[in-house]
Amino acid sequence: MHVGIMGGSGFVGQGLLQQLQTTSWQVTSFSCSGNRHVPLALQDSVQFVQTDFIHDKNWQPWMQQCDWLIDLVGIFSERPRQNLTYQQATFMPAKVVADFLKTQQLTPQIIYVSANWAPSFMGKYLFYKDKTALYWQQQLGSVVRIVYPNLIYSPQQKRNRWFARSWSLIQWLPQVQFFKPMTLADFSQNLQLIMQDQPSFLLQRRHN
C-alpha cells in the first residue's frame, strides 16, 4: 500500500511518518520543505517530494501512485503580509489536489484532518477547516474521510511539557471533556487504524 502525506514534514506529519515506519507500506511526503526539518531516522524509509501544490506540478506523478492520501496542510494563524492566509495556505492546496484527482479520475482514499473544536477567537480557522473538508467531499465523494482531532501535542517536546503537566491536573473536569487533547502518538495510531478500516472516535465531531 502506498500512502501520501500532504504536509508530511511538519510536526503532525513527522509523528505520522514515525508511526508508519512500523508498517511495510510505502510512504511519500509532500511539503514545501522536503526533508530539511525531518530527523535522519525517518529519511531512509520515506520518499520526500519538495513541492508547492499551487505552483508546481512535480507532485502529480507521485500522487497517481497513492492508495491513501492524507491532507495535513494548513496554518493555525494568518500572516497576511506574507500571503499566509487560510484561503491560500489551507484551502487552495486541497482544492488544487482535489481538482487534479477528479480530473484524472483517480480515487485514492482521502483523510482530511479537520478540527473538532476551536475557541471563538479562532472561528475563521474553523470556518476554513470546514470549508476545505466540504470541498474534498464535494469533489471526491465517499472516498473522503474527515477526522476531527482537538489539540495535538507531544510530551516529548520541551515546549509541550508544560501543557502536558497542566492538562494532567484538569483532564477529569466535565467542562473540558469536549476539548480533550491527544498525544501525537495517539493521533497517528488512530489514523493508521482508519487506513486499516478500523473504527476511530476521530471520525465524529464531538463538539460543535
Query: DSSP assignment of the chain, as one string?
Result: -EEEEETTTSHHHHHHHHHHTTS--EEEEEETTTTTTS-HHHHTTSEEEE--TTT--TTHHHHTT-SEEEE----SS-BGGGTB-HIIIIIHHHHHHHHHHHHTT---EEEEE--S---GGGHHHHHHHHHHHHHHHHHHGGGEEEE----EE-TTSHHHHHHHHHHHHHTT-GGGGGG--EEHHHHHHHHHHHHTT---GGGS----
The confidence score (pLDDT) of residue 117 equals 86
Which grid coordinates are listed for 27?
510512504
The confidence score (pLDDT) of residue 127 equals 97
Which grid coordinates are listed for 142?
465517499
The confidence score (pLDDT) of residue 143 equals 98
The confidence score (pLDDT) of residue 141 equals 97
Question: pTM for the whole thing?
Answer: 0.91
CA of residue 208 relative to chain centroid, distance: 20
Sheet holding 109-113, edge to edge: 47-50, 26-31, 2-6, 68-71, 109-113, 144-147
Give dist(CA 201, CA 114) in Å, integer: 13
Q: How far apart are the first and last CA of the chain?
A: 34
What are the 10-residue block averages of pLDDT along the chain, 208 residues in total? 96 94 95 90 91 97 97 93 92 98 97 91 94 98 96 73 62 64 93 97 84
Catalogue all structural domains in the chain, each as residue range(s) with its CATH number. Answer: 2-199 (3.40.50.720)
Give dist(CA 38, CA 100) in Å, integer: 27
Please list the residues that pair with 144 across neighbouring strands.
Answer: 110
pLDDT, tens digit, for every residue of 71-90? 999 998 999 888 899 999 99
The confidence score (pLDDT) of residue 44 equals 86
Torsion of CA 32, 38, 40, 43, to 10 degrees: -50
The confidence score (pLDDT) of residue 49 equals 97
Of 46, 53, 62, give the one whose Cα is nearest residue 31: 53
